[in-house]
Structure 1
Amino acid sequence: MSRIQFSSADATDSPTLVGVGSRSTDAWLWGIAVVALVLDVVLTYYGLGLGLQEGNPIARSFFSMLGVIEAMVLLKGSVMTMALVAWTALPRQYRTVVPIGVALPWLVASAINATLILQV
């Protein structure tokens, strides 16, 4: 067996490591998550104003207890807080899954909301 020495440049040249967990990737993904959050809130509020019904029974009950805006701030704020805690707790190589996991459902909800609004 022989000893092989690697320089730090060898590790960064690997195509599977480039961009994974990088700060710019994280910033873009969190930016997309924030845009998805805002889209979901705005389209939900607008759709409810048009007479559409909230499909999520938990959100619907919070809306009746707190009001629409207050409930959305509480619910979305809780999700973002938990996501940020999870993001900081995970090793850097796995962190990208957190903002993606937050953004995807909100983007789907936004697409559904937009489709329903266009049908009114």
Structure 2
Amino acid sequence: MSRLQFPSTEAIDLSTDVRSGVDSRSVWLWGLVAVACLLDVGLTYYGLGVGLEEGNPIARSFFSMLGVIEAMVLLKGVVIAAALVAWASIPRRYRPVIPIGVAIPWLVASAINAALILQV
């Protein structure tokens, strides 16, 4: 006779969606990316409206070609698309690095924008 081996219920990670492999931590981190993006876009738009100037020459040229909101949606969209491709392409244990690496610069930019706006 053989013994049947049943997986322990302790080994099951209930925070992972089996179909897509997305865990709750990833959802929160991508939510942080969305918040950081909205803050950066909103504060940049507001700052430009009160007389501040865009410091990034690439963004500045896109602003003049497309308009501020349109250019920011395009630029942020490209970054998010590339980040999602990278996120899906790397091993699961390294995936949190991608949204963190996208969110941190946008949060820093938002903090700088907020500080500059408060000085106006």
TM-score normalised by the chain length of structure 2: 0.82
**Cα separation, partners in 2 of 1:51 and 1:91, compared to 1, 3 Å:** same
Gaps of 5+ in 1: 1-7, 13-20
Are residue 48 (structure 1) and residue 48 (structure 2) matched? yes
**Aligned counterparts of 2:106 and 2:23: Cα–Cα separation in 1:** 23
Q: Which residue in the other structure is 2:39 paired with?
A: 39
Q: Which residue in the other structure is 2:64 paired with?
A: 64
Q: Which residue in the other structure is 1:18 paired with?
A: none
- How far apart are residue 22 of structure 1 and its match? 6.5
- How far apart are residue 81 of structure 1 and its match? 0.4
More contact order relative to length (CA 8 Å, sep ≥ 6): 1
Summarize deviations over 1:20-73 as a string: whole Å, max 9, x none.
Answer: x96110011000010000000000000000010001111011101111011001
Q: Which residue in the other structure is 1:80 paired with?
A: 80
Please provide the CA RMSD for this pair: 2.2
For residue 55 of structure 2, give the secondary structure of its aligned residue in structure 1: coil
**Aligned counterparts of 2:67 and 2:114: Cα–Cα separation in 1:** 22
Identity among equivalent pairs (%): 73
**Aligned counterparts of 1:47 and 1:86: Cα–Cα separation in 2:** 32
2:75 maps to a residue whose letter is: L
Q: Which runs of 4+ in 1 moved over 3 A?
A: none
